[in-house]
Amino acid sequence: MKYERFFKKQLRAIEKELRRIMKTRQARPRSIHRVMQYAVFTGGKRFRPVLTLAVCEACGGKMRDVLPAACAIEMIHTYSLIHDDLPALDNDDLRRGQPTCHKKFGEAAAILAGDGLLTLAFEVLSEVKPAERAAELVRRVSTASGTHGMIGGQVEDIETSRKRLDLSTHDFICHNKTGALIRVSAAAGAIAAGAKGGKSAAVARYGAAIGLAFQVVDDLLDRDGYCRFLTRQETVKKAMRLIATARREAGRLGPKAGALVYLADFLESRIPC
């Protein structure tokens, strides 16, 4: 079964909530809100918010309780893509087959749209109920997005781009630049569901495994990253070990964790033959 069909209900709910949130951003200055909406609705698999919803369900929570956090994380992911595409970083012309924000609207608008999505994400997180849960989500998501997470990995990636990269440095970059936001996507689902103890620990291990597996599979598709340090066979084995770990940890969460197993299966299906 295709990803979009398996997660049809979740994807529909995410799109509806994102549109509701973005609809509140139509007042003056309309220009910046138009850029923000362009970036949010240019497609993508919504892997991170789907993961958040799947973890919440596995831990016995309700979709309505976690949707705001899932959408906030997707907005942070989108902001990071806008900024990654800028000339000062990756200097990309296209994103998902469409012109990147700075190509379509100019660099200033793209920078400010990214800033706007980041700040809007925390506004949305602050409205989660109860307040203690909102505070924990803000703390965890801000750490994962900052210099001890996604931004830290990006900085290390930039600083080592012209140097001879070693495997341990690449591990650090992947753990932070890609992995941090995926790990907190999983953690947010557990927090929204009020998971504690063993379930929370299993979610943390699942998030760590699926987050790194996501990057390893991307590297296999791009023939880059880990493929520079390991043979193709070794890289595939690394991905498969991580996916197996994710499946095992999903199993610890009980019968409602089928979507988490499917996400692991989905990553395995992307490994090129």
Per-residue pLDDT tens for 178-222?
Answer: 999 999 999 999 999 999 999 999 999 999 999 999 999 999 999
CB atoms < 10 A from the CB of 135, how many?
13
What residue ranges in the chain does DSSP mark as E strands?
94-95, 98-99
Average pLDDT across the chain, whole number: 96
How much is the pLDDT for 161? 80
Q: Considering the entire predicted model, what is its pTM?
A: 0.96
How much is the pLDDT for 239? 98
Q: What average pLDDT does the segment 46-55 reach? A: 98
Angle at alpha carbon of residue 199, lines to 196 and 202, rounded to 5°: 130
pLDDT in tens, 53-74: 999 999 999 999 999 999 999 9
How much is the pLDDT for 26? 83
How much is the pLDDT for 273? 86
The token duo for 217 is 């599979």
With beta carbons less than 8 A apart as the criterion, state whether 186 and 207 touch.
yes
73: nearest Cα among 148, 150, 3, 20: 150
In this predicted structure, the answer to whether residue 24 has a pLDDT above a threshold of 90 is no
Contacts of 273 (CB under 8 A, 6+ apart): none
Q: Where are the domains of the chain?
A: 3-270
How much is the pLDDT for 27? 86
Q: What average pLDDT does the segment 30-55 reach? A: 96
Distance CA 259, CA 1 (A): 12
Three-state DSSP state, 1: coil
How much is the pLDDT for 8? 96
Three-state DSSP state, 60: coil
For residue 256, the 8-state DSSP code is G
- Determine the topology of domain 3-270 in CATH: Farnesyl Diphosphate Synthase (1.10.600)
Burial class (CB in 10 A: 0-12, 13-18, 19+), 56: buried
